[in-house]
């Protein structure tokens, strides 16, 4: 009789183990639900190239910015814009150390070239087709850019702070 009970309880444990492995736990379901709920819904957005969309209302006086609509579409989660440098590079204006308090900053060179210096990472000349991911709050400066240089910059969150370290 004791042997029969042992077999029954062993079989019951195996069945329970199989069911548990097949179904996510209540805790796992709750974690997934929270993660899905925490995601902000994104809207569809498109942006067609138009010269009049480049505005001189951005961070730098030597650049025009074309907002791609990502900030509104993501409810402020991310910002994506094209930066078009205007005029010749003047190191007295351009080459000043600063940092951005952003969780994510990625830059892709669309046209021309740009030379930057990132503290702890050195000096880099990036050409059309090149990109870099800038670490959080990395002190950096632009050293030079070519005529017609354009960058795609993606930053998270959209409302990030820039701290100028030189005047």
The alpha helices in 39-134, defined as continuous H runs, are 70-73, 91-94
Q: Is the residue at 46 inside a domain?
A: no
Q: Is the residue at 137 inside a domain?
A: yes
CATH code where residue 60 lies: 2.60.120.10
Q: CA 87 from chain center: how many Å?
A: 28
Q: Which residue has the tokens 């910015």?
A: 65
Q: Are residues 34 and 62 in the same domain?
A: no
| Span 34-69, pLDDT tens digits | 655 566 678 899 999 999 999 998 888 889 999 999
- Note the pLDDT of residue 63: 93
Q: Is the residue at 45 inside a domain?
A: no
Q: Residue 138 sits in which domain range?
A: 51-164
Higher model confidence: residue 39 or residue 125?
Answer: 125
pLDDT over 90 at 21, yes or no: no
Q: Is the residue at 58 inside a domain?
A: yes
């Amino acid at each position: 009789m004791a042997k029969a009970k042992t077999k029954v309880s062993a079989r019951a444990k195996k069945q329970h183990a199989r069911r548990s492995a097949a179904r996510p736990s209540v805790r796992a379901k709750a974690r997934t639900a929270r993660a899905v709920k925490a995601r902000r819904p994104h809207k569809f957005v498109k942006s067609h190239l138009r010269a009049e969309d480049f505005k001189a209302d951005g961070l730098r006086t030597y650049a025009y910015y074309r907002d791609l609509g990502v900030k509104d579409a993501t409810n402020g989660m991310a910002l994506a814009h094209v930066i078009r440098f205007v005029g010749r590079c003047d190191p007295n204006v351009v080459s000043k150390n600063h940092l951005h308090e952003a969780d994510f900053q990625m830059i892709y060179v669309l046209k021309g070239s740009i030379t930057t210096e990132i503290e702890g990472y050195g000096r880099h000349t990036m050409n059309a087709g090149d990109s870099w991911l800038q670490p959080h709050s990395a002190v950096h400066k632009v050293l030079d850019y070519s005529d017609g240089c354009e960058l795609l910059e993606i930053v998270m969150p959209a409302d990030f702070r820039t701290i100028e370290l030189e005047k």
